[in-house]
Structures are given as C-alpha cells and as structure tokens.
Chain A
Amino acid sequence: MALRLPFAALVCLRYLREGRMQTVLILAGVTGGVAVIIFLTTLISQLQASIIDRTLGSQAHIVLKPPLLANRTLLPPGSTAAIVQPRAQRLRSIDQWEAVAQLASQTNGVLAVSPKLSGAAFAARADASQAITLLGVDAQAYQRIVQMPKYLRLGRFDVSGANAVIGVELAKDLGVTVGDKLRLIAMDGRNDLATIAGIFDIGNRDLNKRWVYTSIKLAQSLLDLPGGITEIDLRVMDLFQAETTARQLAAQTGLVADSWMQTNAQLLTALNSQSMSNNLIRFFVTVIVAVGIASVLVVSVVQKQKEIGILRAMGASPRRIMAVFLLQGGIYGGVGSALGVGLSLALLQFFSRITRNADGSLLVSPELDLSVVLGACALALLVGLLAAALPARRAARLDPVQAIRV
C-alpha cells in the first residue's frame, strides 16, 4: 500500500502522478539523453577499437632500430663546415640485440618482443619479378606481435627452413599459390629458392604486394647479415602508453624507438578528434537533461507552493520537503537511465543489423559495455539530483505563512 511509504516517497510519487504529462516528457528527455550517451559512446569506442585493431593488428606497437649513421666532422677548433652531407644508411644489425630484447621484455607494460630482420629484395618466378621487403622472423615470437593466422587466406604461417609466406597481391602478380616455388634475390645478387607455405591478406594492398616472410636464418643469409637483427618489435599492454615506453627504451638503449603513436600520428589525431566530439556531445546532452529536470522541478515548486506551505504548517521539516524534490530528480535520473539503457540496446541492435563491414562481418557488436552503462546511469542519477538541488532548496526555504497566502 502506497501509504506505507515514507513521507517524502509518498508525496513525491503523488506529485509525479499528478503531473503525469510533465513526468512523461521529462522521462522521455532523460531516456533519450542516456540512450544517446550510451549508444554514441559504445558506437565510437567500438569503431575506434576496430580502426585500431585493423591498423595496429598488422604492426608492432614499438619498433626498436639502430640509430642513424651520421658523418663525423673532423674540423680544427673554431672552424665550421658549410655543408655536412647526410650519410647513406646501410643495413645494420642492432648491437647486442639479444640483450636489448631481454631488457625490452623485462620493461614494465611490454607484453611481447620479437626480433626481425628487414631488407629490400626481389621475388621472381619465371620472367616475372617484384620488388619486396624481406622479413625474417621467428614465427612463434612474431605471432605474439601480429596475429598472422587471422590474416591467412591460404596455407599456414610457417617460415621454417626454406618456407616463405607472401601476400595475396604478390601471389597474384607472380601467379603462384601455396606449394609453389619462388626465388628470392637480394640486391647484391645472392638468391635462394623458397617454397610458399602460406598466403596472407593483411588488409593493405601495398603490404600484400611487398611483404615476404621467411625464417631469420634465410633472411640473414640473403641480406648478408649473419647473426644480425635490424629491428625488435614490441607489443605493449596499454596502447596509449606506447610512446612513454618507447622514450624509456630509447633512453636506456640508445636505439631509435618508434611507437605507433609517432608513425600513425594522423590516426591518433583522428581518434582524439572523435573522442573529443563524443565528449562534447555527451557534455551538451548532459547539460540539456539537467536544464530539463531543473526547469520541470522549478515549475513544480511554484505550482505546489501552497501545498508545501500546508505541509510545513502540519510539521514537515524543510529537510523532508527538500527530500521530496530531490527524490523527484533522482527518480527522473534513475528511471530515465533504466529506460535509456533499453533504448540504447535497441538502437545498437538496429544499427548492427543495418551496417556491415566490407567483408560482411559486424561493424558494431550489439552488446553494451557494462562500464559505459553504469557510467551513464550514475551520471544521469547525479545530474537528476544536482538539477533538483536548487528547486528542492527553494522549496525547503519557503516561508509557510507566505506560501499559504499565495
């Protein structure tokens, strides 16, 4: 029975029922606001995650490389050279690369380390040849950096012995498939025959045409870098800490450390802009919801002025009058949140049905992120209470004599 409710809850619910049109409209506003916040945040975070996954899925988060060779100027003291010509960069190994790899793997936040040998070469079959980037990797270590099985279209990621894994575009250009032979020719003419063990599609036409994976040993032999490694690839736990970790490793090793944030600065700017847009939308929606709740309650306090006076005359304390209106704000926020969650889920399901990636996979997963949902609900509840605070305070401070006279 409603009468069993405490005073504030009873009066609040009755006021909500009395002004049911106002209640429905403001609840619709809060519901819409919460749904927009949850839907947009989920959508943008999923799209961002997808973009990051597609972009960074095929590359290391941090790449350690030897420092650039620079010309040393040997001039007498007090004199300066007018021009110092930049030095051509030959293929060089990282000094003590095993120790560097060990240090990197022990660095806080680094999840995986994979040595790599990378250099220019040609791939040839019969009369056809293509310029390629030869990548000598340890298959097991490299798959902790780039999940190659995910990108394989044919065969397997097996670079043991004389096996090679090539991209779909190169396979098309050379007219080869899994099991076929391919000649790999270094710039100085060294060459070797490799068997194609797998064909990948990494989602980038240029890389599909240039990248050829082999074992480190085969690459060292072809590129004439025995025992050498030209890069160390790293994967980190927190993507957005990559630059900090890179700077730390650069300082510790004296190597060049490029993080994905440097090499994909435009992507990072785009992601930040997207996040900023989302935050602005969330801010304005929150302000609009807060203004909506506050205006409805201000009107309600004015409308109920006389009743508030009577309740005060009957012994209701200012705090209990305040509680009536704070509770109204809380109910607007709470019920609006619950309905908003439902609406956002419906919107996500609808959106995921009508939009697909080019490969037919889901662009957006119709699942809500619990932290986003709880965050939006907490925000709506807080906004409801804060928006109600001013009208509630005004109601509590009404002089009963003046209120009854109105």
Chain B
Amino acid sequence: MDTIVELKQIRKRYGEGTPVEAEVLHGIDLKISGGEFAALTGPSGSGKSTLLNIIGLLERASGGQLLIDGRDTADLDDATITTLRGRSIGFIFQFHHLLPGFTALENVMMPSIIDANWPTAKAQDQALRLLDQVGLKDAAYKRPAQLSGGMQQRVAIARALSLSPRLILADEPTGNLDSHSANDIFELLQAVNQQQHSACLIVTHDARLAARCQRQIQIEDGQLLAQTS
C-alpha cells in the first residue's frame, strides 16, 4: 500500500527555553497508508490531539521528520504548508465547527472557494454530490442552526471530503452524538474511506468504535504503545 503519512522520531516540546518546558511527544514513529482506517486512542493528556495537529500540519514538530506523500514538511514555508493542508488533509472536529453564517452547501464548498482553483459550478456540483453521499441533499440550503447534531456532523464530513483529500483526520467525530448517530457517522466515515481509498485517522475515547477500526494505535505519555490490526 502507498504510504500517505510517515512520522519519524517526531518530538514536540512546549515552552522551549522556559522553566515550564515540557516534552509531550517523545519520538513517535508511525506510518499510515492509503485505504487505512485507523483509531488513535489514549487517556486525556497522552498527546493524541498534539499528534493529530502535527500530522494535520496545524502545528510544527520540535524534532523528527513528517512526510506527507513522501515529501518532508520540515523545510516547507508557511504558505506551502497552508496550501498542502488545504488540499491534502480533511479535518473533522468533535463540534462540527461549521460556519454559522453559511448554508450547508456553502460550508461544503468552502475548501474549494479557499483553494480558488475550482470553478464555482464544478465546486457546487461536487458539494451537492457530497451532500447527497452523506444523505443531506435536501438540506443543502439550510443553515447549520437548522440541522440536528448528527446532520451537522454529516455536513462537516462532506466538507472534509470536498477537495478529495488523501488524509482525513477526525478528532472525536462522534464524541458529541448519541449512540445511534455516532454509529451512522462511523459507518459513513468507513464507507468514504473505502470509496476514496484515502487514509483516515480517528481520535476516539470510545473503545467499541476503536475496536471496529482496521487498526488501533494507542498512545500514552507521548509514546506509542502497542498497535493492533
């Protein structure tokens, strides 16, 4: 399988050079390939979110190498990192984080609008197709406030898929949903992962959902523990 993300001895320190300096990730080695559906689990404060932010190019590592599609990201400038993040990575957050002033359709189109390389008509067709895929075509012109929590998270998934990213990072995507909706969302993510052959890394506290993932990665005190498949 083609490796999409590769981490080599990734370290992260906060407050460098200050009395409160702390290392939260201690040399993480990890590979995630296309089509993989992996769960990242661990107790609070174990470094899950920091690791997710580093993989998602939202934060820079203090040491080690992060390769996206074989490209070392350490030497890339901020503008290139921003473009790479927009085009290659789709984020799904616990609290959907949709833009309240925009309709569901506009929210899904937003990555294409930001990318600026997409013609409006093409971006709109793609957004409507994605909304159809997550079962929300009829809600395309509704604002997030007019949708239920589960529907909002579906819109967020459609938005994350907007530019057909190689990597989908989901931070507790079902953490704020009832068990029925959580199951729906989980199955939707699995289906998308299979269809698009993208890599999907889900941070979750839910052991049952993690168990249903193709691969489970455990992290504790900033170090990866056993990985099971």
Chain A residues packing against B (C-beta within 8 Å): 1, 3-4, 6-7, 10, 14-15, 17-18, 306-307, 309-318, 320, 400-401, 404
The prevalent SS among residues of B at the interface is helix
Question: What residues on B are CB-neighbors of A313 within 8 Å?
Answer: 56, 58, 85, 91
Let me know if B113 is at the binding interface, CB within 8 A. yes
Q: Is the pair B124, A314 in contact by a Cβ cutoff of 8 Å?
A: no
Assess the B91–A314 pair: CB atoms within 8 A. yes
Bound form: Cα–Cα A317–B78 in Å? 9
- In the bound complex, CA of A313 to CA of B83 (Å): 10
A401 touches B59 (CB 8 A): yes
B114 contacts the other chain (Cβ, under 8 Å)? Answer: yes
Q: Is the CB of A15 within 8 A of B101?
A: yes
Contacts of B124 in A (CB 8 A): 3
Measured CB to CB, the closest approach of chain A to B228, in angstroms, equals 29
**Contact (Cβ within 8 A) B101 A18:** yes
Q: Does the CB pair B97–A306 fall under 8 Å?
A: yes
Take A311-B110, A313-B85, A315-B83 as given contacts and tell me if A400 and B116 are in contact as well, using a CB distance cutoff of 8 Å.
Answer: no
When the two chains form their complex, are residues A7 and B86 in contact, meaning their CB atoms are under 8 A apart? no
13 A-B residue pairs with Cβ-Cβ distance under 8 Å, sorted by A, are A3-B106, A3-B113, A10-B113, A18-B100, A310-B93, A311-B110, A313-B91, A315-B85, A315-B87, A315-B111, A317-B79, A400-B58, A404-B97
Give which listed residue, B82, B97, B111, contacts A317 with CB less than 8 A.
B82
Encoded as 1 (CB less than 8 Å from any A CB) or 0, chain B from 47 to 90 comes to 00000010010110000000000000000001100110111000
B16 contacts the other chain (CB 8 A): no
Most A CB contacts (10 A, CB to CB) among B99, B106, B120 go to B99
Complex: A315 Cα to B88 Cα, angstroms: 10
**Pair B114/A7 contact, Cβ less than 8 Å:** yes
The residue on A at minimum CB distance from B123 is A3
- B198 CB, nearest partner CB in chain A, Å: 16
* Inter-chain contact A14/B101, CB cutoff 8 Å: yes
Given A14-B101, A315-B83, A401-B58, also A320-B91 (CB < 8 A): no
**B contact residues around A316 at 8 Å (CB):** 82, 86, 114
Selected from B82, B102, B109, B123, the residue in CB contact (under 8 A) with A315 is: B82
Besides the known contacts A3-B124, A313-B56, A401-B59, 18 further A-B residue pairs in the complex with CB atoms under 8 A apart: A7-B114, A7-B116, A10-B113, A15-B101, A18-B100, A306-B97, A307-B99, A309-B97, A310-B93, A310-B99, A311-B99, A312-B82, A314-B91, A315-B83, A315-B85, A315-B86, A400-B58, A401-B58
Please indicate the chain A residues that have their CB under 8 angstroms from the CB of B79 in the complex: 317
The residue from B53, B85, B101, B159 contacting A17, defined by CB atoms under 8 A apart: B101
> Complex: how many Å from CA A313 to CA B124?
21
B115 in the interface (beta carbon within 8 A): yes
User: What residues on A are CB-neighbors of B159 within 8 Å?
Assistant: 314
Q: Which residue of A lies closest to B50 (CB)?
A: A401
A66 to nearest B CB, angstroms? 78
Pick the most buried of A3, A15, A317: most chain B CB atoms within 10 A of its CB. Answer: A3
**Cα(A3)–Cα(B112), bound, Å:** 11
Give Cα A10–Cα B120 distance, bound, in whole angstroms: 13
Q: Is the CB of A6 within 8 A of B101?
A: no
List chain A residues, Cβ under 8 A from B59. Answer: 401
CB proximity of B68 to chain A, nearest CB, Å? 14
**How far is A134 from B102 in the complex, measured between Cα atoms in Å?**
83
> Given the complex, which residues of B lie within 8 Å of A312, measured CB to CB?
82
Chain A residues positioned under 8 Å from B115 (CB to CB): 315
Question: Is there an interface contact between B113 and A320, defined as CB atoms closer than 8 Å?
Answer: no
Least CB distance, A259 to chain B, in whole angstroms: 62
**Which A residues are in CB contact (< 8 Å) with B113?**
3, 7, 10
What residues of chain A lie closer than 8 Å to B78, measured between beta carbons?
Answer: 317-318
Give the shortest distance, in Å, between A177 (CB) and chain B (any CB).
Answer: 80
**Complex-state Cα separation, A309 to B53, whole angstroms:** 13
Instruction: Give Cα A224 to B148, complex, Å.
Output: 107
Cα distance, A340 to B39, chains bound together (Å): 59
Task: Tell me which residues across on chain B come within 8 A of A7, comparing CB atoms.
Answer: 113-114, 116
Residue of A nearest to B56 (CB): A313
Do A401 and B53 form a contact, CB below 8 Å, given A3-B109, A310-B97, A315-B83? Answer: yes
Given A310-B97, A401-B59, A4-B85 contact (CB < 8 Å): no
- Chain A residues contacting B120 (CB-CB under 8 Å) are 1, 3-4
CB of B116, distance to nearest CB on chain A (Å): 7
- Shortest C-beta distance, B124 to chain A (Å), equals 7
- Taking each of B78, B114, B124, which has the highest tally of chain A beta carbons within 10 Å of its own beta carbon? B114
Nearest CB of B to A115, in Å: 75
Closest to A15 in B: B101
- What separation, in Å, do the CA atoms of A375 and B109 have in the docked complex? 41
Report the bound CA distance from A134 to B72 in whole Å.
98
* Nearest chain B residue, comparing its CB with the CB of A320: B114
Q: How far is the CA of A325 from the CA of B144 in the complex (A)?
A: 23
Which residue on A lies nearest to B79, using beta carbons? A317
